[in-house]
Amino acid sequence: MRARLLVAVTSLAVAAFLWAFMVANGVVPLVALLALLGGAFWAFERYPRIETAVIDSFRRARWTAAAIWILVILGFPFLFGQNAYYIHLLVMCLIYSVLGIALNFQLGSANIPNFATGATYGIGAYCSALLALNWGWSFWLTLPFAALAATVFGFVLGLPSMRTRDSYLALVTIACGVIIHQLLNNFEWTGGAQGLIGIPAPALFGYSFAQPLRVFGLTLPFQTHFYYLALVLIALAVVVARRLHHSRIGLAWNALRADEVAARSVGINVVWYKVLAFAVDAFLAAFAGVLYAFYITYIAPDNFTFLVSVTLMTMVIVGGMDNIVGVIVGAFLLTLLPEKLRVFSDYRLLFYGVVVIAFLMIRPQGLLPQRLRSYGPS
Amino acid sequence: MSDAIFSAREVTIRFGGLVALDRVDIDVAAGEILAVIGPNGAGKSTLFNVITGIYAPSGGRVRFDGEDITGWQTHDIVMRGISRTFQASRLFSDLSVLDNVVIGLHTRTTTNVFEALCLPSRSRRELTWAAATATEILKRVGGDLYDRRYRRASELAQADRRRLEIARALAAKPKLLLLDEPTAGMDDRDTDALIEDIRRIKADRPEFAIIVVEHDMRLVASLPSRVVVLDYGRKIADAPFDVVRRDPRVQEAYLGQTEP
Amino acid sequence: MEQVVQQVINWLALSSIYALLAIGFSLLFGVLNVIQFSHGDVGLTAPFIAMAVLAAASALFPGAGLAIAILVSVFAVGVLGILLDRLMIRRFRTAPPMMALVATVALGIVLRELIRILYPDGSNPHPFPVLIEGNAAVVGGVNVSWLVVAMMIATVLMVAALSAFLHHTALGTRIRAVSQDLEMARMLAINPNRIFQVTFFIASATGAVAGVFYASYVGLMRFDLGIIAGLLGFSAAVIGGLGNMTGAIVGSLVLAALDTLVQAVFPDGTAYRLVVAFLMVLAVLVFRPAGLLGKSVPQKV
């Protein structure tokens, strides 16, 4: 009972915080909210017992937690009524969460640097957009093809990891990311720097996602469709992540994160698992890219730069490596933060950089650090 | 030796101008315990790195269990049945003690990425089996590894780290186990316990062979059936311990230095 | 013929800029084992500092204003390097390499933004004066400007000086000791923190010279040029072999040659220069992971 209560209080507090953070306007409320967040994590750091108690209660009252969160997640757009901007922010948070989860396979589970997730995301987006614009394929049909193309790219990107590691491998991925960005910028058939415009909105059985959503006598902005679509995608990403994490594959990735030589010496084919991490990352990132392309209806190379990849790396590190909830928290925080920092207008990116560095120095294990696996009742 | 499960012939390895191993021959029969001793820098750890495919030899052949494994990838060699521990223990320190052993079972599990994604119940069953097997292994090795199975490996004391490394290596059910200075950093009591552990493992599976690199003379005197002495990358003796320790060349190279 | 000579001149000019940046990357990586990703941005703050102090310098030293301003900027950037090390980068030395990587990338963002905000009208490009006006010689019908000559001479001199410093002074020897084996150096009672500071000063000041040359060579400075300059300098260092001075120079020559060639031969070459440069980096990393001059060291087990 106590566990359930704690779960309910924490969950609603988190949801309320998210809502307040999103609608906060002006410097004072924003600073106050950030201070509150900082205070919470300071308390976690100072009194680990709080953290343990919360985690423990979520483990014990997991059905209560699930029920509360399903309600919160499904109902969240209704809190914002007609305001399309907030729903848009939520959709972007979800897309970045998917990308974060994708990158987490490498960065979090296996500790492989990848500064090219932005590029795989772009390949997914461009692939689907080109198929839709040139051949009139529907959103649903382009999804698997874009994912396939990106996965192939992921494999290719992963191949140099046979011979390189750490900083050198980081450079390989940077190089690939920059090359893809430059090619998208220069090719005529990708629309050059202008990119591609007029990507048709997805439709399901003739029901277009571009119209406002009417439910329970309420009218919600059309973005709400994409919110729910992104939810499906993130659910898929979470399922993939969990299944891999709780399998021999997740263990092998963790092993090579901890010590590559030792991993080889227990019989793990290190090269294969590295390449696999690249491929899985690319697969999920492509999904996010397709969703983005069909949501924004307009894509350009500058949506998929090196900086996007850096942002993603930061999300995973700040949120917590190898912790799915942590990665989602990181993605939400770092997607919303730059938007909210608009009140600092010109100082936005500066603040962003400072916040990232501060995070890395103060809580390097991330907001929600990785947890040990448990096998059944212990 | 015809019944050798493992044999190295004229194994040579050079790093630039330095010859770390110079035409070394080593045979191990099934069920045998072989000790490799020698002063620091004699090439003992390098020998292990060659056997397990971490270094490719510059010359010579390595045969194991009827197959030429020279130049094989490490993971293929492990799959074939050779496991090892490291001199400076290399645990997966940010994972739990249990996970370390579960990962040691990697070669005995088979789930691939599609099965993990599409047949979660199968993958979960396999992991449950692995966890149960790993728990059994932890119970059998001494120390309080079993009680600490849900702790991080980095929290273990030195002796337990050694034990965990051995447990992880044993999880793969090797036919040949390579122990690289298992008693380094252990006191006498821990060493005795370790000798007991090894005897028990041997009693369970008599056919299983061990090569142990060791400095501790008590362990070398009590366990192995045979001792190989390396000095400057060359094999200078290969005989039972009682013979080896009377060999003047060995005394000069090794024993004279450590036992004043 | 004139075409060829012109391209050779371009090649040498670019090489010297890349080399000065690459040396910094190599030095920092060798000593700290950290890739200072914002090294390009650090270097490219120099032209802005120089322009900021130009008016004052000209007033104090009529006739030598630009030279003084540049010296001040190079020194200031060296100090900036020490500051960054003390405040931040030092803490990431023992952290996982990924942390250091992301942190220094974020540092690059901060530096760029600081320039943009602090320098008047910083979002827009500003002209940067040519350091030395006029032409030194005419080769094959092509004017060779004093600037390019000066750049090459300065680069050669700096490389020679740095090499002499590293090999023939006590401090330089200690730097090399730390770069080879930090633990060993500690046992020899070398204070690593001092070594890091000196290294940071040298690397950043060298980068500053590269930054000034770059701005002067293209005639303008922009707050975000540091990222590309940094990537190219880093690539040159990797192509040659990180942590190896000769490698940095060879890498720069190779990368600059490729860069010049692509721009000269292909009609749309400028658009593809980064693509070609990074394809080269990829090829080197895949086929010679330790770089063209690097020795591959067996993995320590």
Q: Do A353 and C274 touch (CB under 8 A)?
A: no
pLDDT of residue B260: 39
| A:C CB pairs within 8 Å | 120
CB contact under 8 A, A372 and B109: no
C91 touching chain A per CB within 8 A: yes
The residue extents of the domains of chain C are 2-130+137-287
Do residue C274 and residue A347 have CB atoms under 8 angstroms apart? Answer: no
Lowest pLDDT segment from A179-183, B71-75, B233-237, C45-49? B233-237
Is pLDDT of C181 > 80?
Answer: no
Contact status of C98 with chain B (Cβ, < 8 Å): no
CA distance A288 to A292: 6
What domains are there in chain B, each with its CATH number?
Answer: 4-258 (3.40.50.300)
Per-residue pLDDT, averaged over A30-51, amounts to 84
Least confident of A177-181, A241-245, C275-279: C275-279
CA A297 vs CA A138, A198, A201, B45: distances in Å:
13, 6, 7, 60
Residue A4's CB: how many other CB atoms inside 10 A?
15
Among A48-57, A345-354, B53-62, C219-228, whose mean pLDDT is lowest? A345-354
Average pLDDT over residues C245-267: 88
pLDDT recorded at residue B203: 85
**Dihedrals φ, ψ of C124, to 5°?**
-100, 155
Phi and psi, residue B59, nearest 5°: -160, 165
ipTM of the complex: 0.90
How many whole angstroms separate alpha carbon A99 and alpha carbon A103? 6
Work out the average pLDDT over C2-13.
86
A270-306 residues labelled b (16+ CB within 10 A) or e (exposed) = bbebbbbbbbbbbbbbbbbbbbbbbbbeebbbebbbb
Which pLDDT does position B214 carry in this prediction?
A: 86
Residue C299 burial by CB count (10 A; 0-12/13-18/19+): exposed, middle or buried?
A: exposed
CB atoms within 10 A of CB A20: 14
Please report the residues numbered 161 through 220 in chain A whose beta carbons come closer than 8 angstroms to any beta carbon of chain C. 163-164, 166-168, 170-172, 174-176, 178-179, 182-183, 185-186
Residue with token string 């006498």: B188
Closest CA to A276 of A305, A252, A308: A252
How close B143 comes to chain A (CA, Å)? 20
Q: Name which of A68, A104, A46, A26 is nearest A330 in CA terms.
A: A104
Q: Tell me whether strands A196-197 and A298-299 are parallel, antiparallel or unpaired.
A: antiparallel
What's the rounded Cα separation, in Å, for the pair A224 and C132? 61
Most confident of the following: A19-23, A54-58, A283-287, B143-147: A283-287
The answer, yes or no, to whether residue A378 has pLDDT greater than 50, is no
pLDDT at C83: 94
For B181, phi then psi, to 5°, come to: 45, 65
Structure tokens at C27: 């030095």
Q: H or E stretch including B24?
A: strand B18-29
Residue ranges, chain B, pLDDT below 50: 1, 258-260
Query: Please, which pLDDT band fits residue A128 given cuts at 50, 70 and 90?
Result: very high
Phi-psi region of C34 (alpha: psi -120 to 50; beta: other; left: phi over 0): beta
Grouping H, G, I as helix, E, B as strand and the rest as coil, residue A105 is helix
Structure tokens at A293: 């392309």
pLDDT greater than 50 at residue A35: yes
Are the beta carbons of C24 and C39 closer than 8 angstroms?
A: yes
Rounded alpha-carbon distances, angstroms, from residue A318 to A31, A108, A240, A341: 19, 11, 22, 18
Indicate yes or no: CB of B86 within 8 angstroms of CB of C301.
Answer: yes
Contact: C271, A168; criterion CB under 8 Å: no
Residue-level pLDDT at B256: 52
Given an 8 Å threshold on Cβ–Cβ distance, is A164 in contact with C285? yes
Q: Is the four-CA dihedral A93, A96, A102, A103 of positive or negative sign? A: negative
Per-residue model confidence (pLDDT) at position B255: 54
Q: How far is A177 from chain C (nearest CA, A)?
A: 10
- Number of neighbouring beta carbons within 10 Å of residue C50: 29
Q: If we measure between CA atoms, which residue out of C75, C107, C74, C76 comes closest to residue C89?
A: C107
A360:C272 CB<8 A: no
Q: Which of B52, B69, B75 to mutate to test the interface with A (most CBs of A within 10 A)?
A: B75
Q: Does domain C2-130+137-287 have CATH number 1.10.3470?
A: yes
Q: Does C119 touch chain A (CB under 8 A)?
A: no
Cα C64 to Cα C67: distance, rounded to the nearest angstrom: 5
**Residue B52's closest chain C neighbor by CA?**
C301
Tens-place pLDDT, residues C257-299: 988 888 888 777 777 888 888 888 888 888 887 777 776 554 5
A273 neighbourhood in chain B, CB within 8 Å: none
Give yes or no for residue A339 having a pLDDT over 50: yes
- Give A101→chain C minimum CA distance, Å: 17
Which tokens in the block code for residue A17?
């915080």
Contact map slice: C 270-299 vs B, CB within 8 A: 298-299
CA distance C166 to C290: 22
